[in-house]
Amino acid sequence: MNALPLSLEPSRLPDGFIESLRGVFGDRLHLGEAMRAQHGASEAHFDTVLPDAVVFALSTEDVVAAVKLCGEAGVPIIAYGAGTSIEGNTTPVNGGLTIDLSLMDQIVQVNAEDFDVTVQAGVRREHLNEHLRDVGLFFPIDPGANATIGGMASTRASGTNAVRYGTMREAVLSLRVVTPDGRDIRTARRARKSAAGYDLTRLFVGSEGTLGIITEVTLRLHGIPESILSAVCSFETLAGAVDTVVQSIQMGVPLARVEILDDVQMRAVNAWSKLDYPEKTTLFFEFHGSERYVQEQVETVSALASANGGGAFQWSSLPEERAKLWKARHEAYYAAIGLRKGCVGWPTDVCVPISRLAECITQTKEDLEAASIPGPILGHVGDGNFHVVFVIDPNKPEEAAEAEALNRRMVQRALDMDGTCTGEHGIGLGKQDWLVAELGEAVDIMRTIKRAMDPQNLLNPGKIFSL
């Protein structure tokens, strides 16, 4: 449901380019429609647009070779990881070559004494944590999907643990990046701080593949807590749940995770994950620390929840029960879509200062209750970030129009509260106008950087802003 055409045309690549690619990649070059369609589809409501070819890279050297060939031929390049982004971030709007980095899945070096690790861009976050478990460390950034580390860096992902551990902005220490002219650069060393020149690491984190292709990432790690406890609490009102979170943070409780799911989302989660929680606005908590400290946190938050209309805490420290709870949360998007057979999801997110969160989320809920389409609310309310998934029939343009209008009100409300149009999804295709509304002439500075680094506009063209 956007203006992008469904591209099923055969390859439009220049003569000789395919042969050059085949000379480098052999049978890791794919021209078939099925493979191209897989790399042109989106998790969300955006139309499928096919690249002209797909290659699977095994090394930074492969990426360098592909970028140089594309530069010589003027072919657009799209970096692709797990394909879990939901703002059309990897949609090849101008065709071209998609470089799939998912086979670059090696854990290069674990530095346990320094609490950091270097991985190739295609490493999945779940695999990384399985690998780290034996040394007592973990990587906390958890966007829900089993995304690749390179993709998470490219979109500045965050997720359920952000309230305690921050986002990819804080987690990334250094990057290895292939620039638009084919240079292989390293943005920083492993030191925890540096005053050496421009902060190129932060420039590439969140750039959505428009300034360079990330091939390796060095990440900050954390020790696995002595005690981890998860809890669930339902509330009579949405405002009561939000107030509990805000008050907990204002009292200094170091919540590791706190997720909100409204009554509509809980109905969807119960049906999808075969659970039986009350179909009321619900908070999912997780507490980390020593056993005594975790107990203190639970007692404080329980008291706040009770004062705000919350029910009894259902809690567990058993790994299998915690895993079941968070699996249900991570599958909430698919649960939402399951509310209407044959429909698709239009996900959106905003983030506001936590002092304005209750007001923003309550007004959004009022809009959704008056709508003709379902729009479950869920989100990482500990940092002011929440999501709505509009569930729409792709064959009814009036529903897409209604979702667009609801989204417009929600984003404008967030901006009016000095918030942002996206807390973690990125801009991609879907929020380019809102980026300009949010940052104004600062977007022209972004365009200047893009033109200077990628004068041919070959890296993921059409994303974040128009040139």
How far is the CA of 410 from the CAs of 388, 404, 421, in angstroms? 9, 10, 9
Q: The whole model's pTM is what? A: 0.93
CB-based contacts of 257: which residues, under 8 Å, 6+ apart?
A: 160, 161, 163, 164, 284, 285, 286, 326, 380, 382
Residue 199 tokens, joined:
């902060």
CA–CA gap between residue 202 and residue 312 (Å, rounded): 43
**Residues near 345 by Cβ (< 8 Å), separated by ≥ 6?**
44, 45, 333, 336, 337, 389, 390, 391, 392
* d(C-alpha 409, C-alpha 418), whole Å: 14
Beta-ladder partners of 230: 286, 316
pLDDT in tens, the chain (467 residues): 443 444 445 457 888 999 999 999 999 999 999 999 999 998 888 889 999 999 999 999 999 999 999 999 999 999 999 999 989 999 999 999 999 999 999 999 999 999 999 999 999 999 999 999 999 999 999 988 899 999 999 999 998 899 999 999 999 999 999 999 999 999 999 999 999 999 999 999 999 999 999 999 999 999 999 999 999 999 999 999 999 999 999 999 999 999 999 999 999 999 999 999 999 999 999 999 999 999 999 999 999 999 999 998 988 889 899 989 999 999 999 999 999 999 999 999 999 999 899 999 999 999 999 999 999 999 888 899 999 999 999 999 999 999 999 999 999 999 999 999 999 999 999 999 999 999 999 999 999 999 999 999 999 999 999 99
Please report how many Cα atoms fall inside a 13 Å half-sphere around the Cα of residue 65, on the Cβ side. 15
Closest CA to 158 of 434, 430, 407, 384: 384
CA 265/CA 259 separation, integer angstroms:
12
The residue type at 177:
V
C-alpha 178/C-alpha 188 separation (Å) is 14
Torsion of CA 282, 159, 349, 212, to 10 degrees: -170
Q: Are 80 and 92 in contact (CB under 8 A)?
A: no
